[in-house]
Amino acid sequence: MSLKQRIEADIKQAMLAKDKARLQALRSIKSQILLAETEKGGTDGLSEDTELKLLTKAAKQRRESAEVYAQQQRPDLEQVELAELAVIEEYMPKQLDEGDLRIRLLDIIQRVGATGPSDLGKVMGVASRELAGQADGRAISKAVGDLLNNTDF
């Protein structure tokens, strides 16, 4: 079942349950899917990779908005964004915890032959592709920087 079909089925369930917050988040995801499909000019559907990118982008937007609202002391709007983020994350692959992320990054560092902070770009290129959707870009970048600055890996 494609992401679009899952979203459409879940929209119906949210409507029946009268869950407004979930319904709003699901409609937002569906809107992004439809926009992406029309950009390509076809209705063949989206690849899993494209679907993952859409979800990642939507999650990042919600996370950043929630941070802004928290800084502006607007807990009402922050909670809306966090609720939508929780719904979006249900459709994303399981996120790696910090320990698993470091293990995967150490493997990547060894494979590309990185020796220090000057190899950050090489490691990030591979890590971004391999860990797409499994970890936030900021978390990957921070962990790679920490690992490369600690030369006894």
Residue 68 half-sphere exposure toward CB, CA atoms < 13 A = 9
CA distance 73 to 87: 23
Ranked by mean pLDDT, the top range of 51-60, 66-75, 116-125 is 66-75
Q: What would the mean pLDDT of 6-21 be, rounded to a whole number?
A: 93
pLDDT at 47 over 90: no
Categorize the per-residue pLDDT at 42 as very low, low, confident or very high, splitting at 50, 70 and 90: low
Categorize the per-residue pLDDT at 95 as very low, low, confident or very high, splitting at 50, 70 and 90: confident
Categorize the per-residue pLDDT at 10 as very low, low, confident or very high, splitting at 50, 70 and 90: very high
- The predicted pLDDT at position 37 comes to 85
Residues 6 or more apart from 3 whose CB is under 8 A from it?
A: 29, 33, 46, 48, 51, 55, 91
CA distance 87 to 71: 23
3-state secondary structure of 93: coil
In the chain, which residues fall in CATH 1.10.10.410?
Answer: 98-149
Q: The whole model's pTM is what?
A: 0.71
Instruction: Indicate the average pLDDT of the chain.
Output: 87
pLDDT at 12 over 60: yes
- The predicted pLDDT at position 48 comes to 82
In the chain, which residues fall in CATH 1.10.1510.10?
Answer: 3-89
CA distance 45 to 34: 9
Q: How many angstroms separate the Cα of 72 from the Cα of each of 10, 21, 75?
A: 33, 22, 9
pLDDT at 80 over 60: yes
- The predicted pLDDT at position 151 comes to 57
Look up residue 6 and give its two tokens.
Answer: 């899952």
CATH 3.30.70.100 for domain 3-89, yes or no, is: no
Categorize the per-residue pLDDT at 85 as very low, low, confident or very high, splitting at 50, 70 and 90: very high
So what's the architecture of 98-149 in CATH?
A: Orthogonal Bundle (1.10)
pLDDT at 153 over 70: no
